[in-house]
Amino acid sequence: MKQLFKPISLLFYLLAIIVFFFLGAFFAGITDAAEGQGLAGGAIVFWYGLNFSFGALVLSLITVYHSSTKFIIKVNKILAIIFVLLFSVLIYLFFSKKNANAGISREILSFKNSNVNKEQLIDSLVGLGFFSPDFVNSNAFYFYGNPFTEKSSTGTSAIDSLVFIKSKQAGFEIYYAPAWFKPELVKMDYDILLIKILSMTKDFVEVIVNTSTGKTVFVKKSEGTIRFWPEFLLTIHSVEFLSETEHPVFVKPVDYAAEVNYKYEIMHPVMINDTWMQVELLDEEYKFLGKGWIRWREGEKLLIRYNLLS
């Protein structure tokens, strides 16, 4: 029993715990246990390490109780060598990850500070509206594969994520995003992140995460806010025609109605009626001139560009 508390035995416990903690963490990495789990991935890896460490502690106590001091010394030497090797690998991975993150940070910084045009031209599907992740209450936002290709929606696993952090200006910024993430609109200095909605289920929303390739993924409805087109258009600053000569402003929401005769500069949305939009007509000094009706979409084709802020 006394051998359990000898310095050589205590060293054995310590080395076993440390070595097997690293082995557990490496095992989690090899098996992709934390793949696509965002910030939760770190906790998963740590949990694997703890489980391996606990198992190693139990085995080391049993080993010390049934072994000689000479055998324990030999095992300590082996564990020390393994520890040095694992520590060297850890240092290598740390600096490799640091260099990789530097490249990602530059890419995300460029992505974040890019001059996002306030007038967003949509030349693809109109979709249902927009999804905005709740990055205020959660710093991780997960992307999922098609829930209908798996046994149940509750079993759907995340394929990647966004990670948000607080910026120095008291707002939020994107710390990590997949390389393929190119949503409808990102303007984090205004806390604006809009991802176009393509379809919906009871629990999930299919969103377009790359406006160039049309790539879609699924997100959980509970992890953000949905704004359908009518609601969204009534919150923006103004709209413009893609082609002024082809889309006049009418006095009523019918194609055969008379056209308005105001010389306006700004159209501010005030009502949505199916494919029709009622707008306030303003001059360049924001003086109200009157109201009119325009077609804002034709089938799945958008006929306007929107000015979100000004």
> What DSSP letter does each residue of 196-244 carry, written as one string?
EEEEE-SSEEEEESBTTT--EEEEEGGGEEEEEHHHHHTTSSEEEES-T
At 291 the pLDDT is 96
Q: What span, in angstroms and rounded, lies between the C-alpha atoms of 310 and 290?
A: 20
Beta carbons of 185 and 305 less than 8 angstroms apart = no
At 72 the pLDDT is 80
- The SS3 call for residue 126 is coil
Residue 285's alpha-carbon distances to 118, 239, 280, in angstroms, are 19, 16, 13
Q: What span, in angstroms and rounded, lies between the C-alpha atoms of 69 and 62?
A: 13
At 99 the pLDDT is 55
Q: What span, in angstroms and rounded, lies between the C-alpha atoms of 135 and 216?
A: 20
Taking 50 as the pLDDT cut, the residues of the chain under it are: 39, 100-101, 104-124, 152-154
Count CA atoms closer than 13 A to 222's CA, side-chain side: 2
What is the separation of C-alpha 260 from the centre of its chain, rounded to a whole number of angstroms? Answer: 45
Question: Exposed, middle or buried: residue 50 (CB in 10 Å: 0-12, 13-18, 19+)?
Answer: middle
At 195 the pLDDT is 96
Beta carbons of 44 and 33 less than 8 angstroms apart = yes
Phi-psi region of 38 (alpha: psi -120 to 50; beta: other; left: phi over 0): left
At 144 the pLDDT is 93
pLDDT tens readout for residues 50-65: 888 888 888 878 887 7
Beta-strand ranges (E) seen in the chain are 119-120, 129-133, 140-144, 158-166, 172-176, 185-187, 192-200, 204-208, 216-220, 224-228, 238-241, 266-273, 276-282, 288-295, 297-298, 301-302, 304-307
Tell me the pTM.
Answer: 0.60
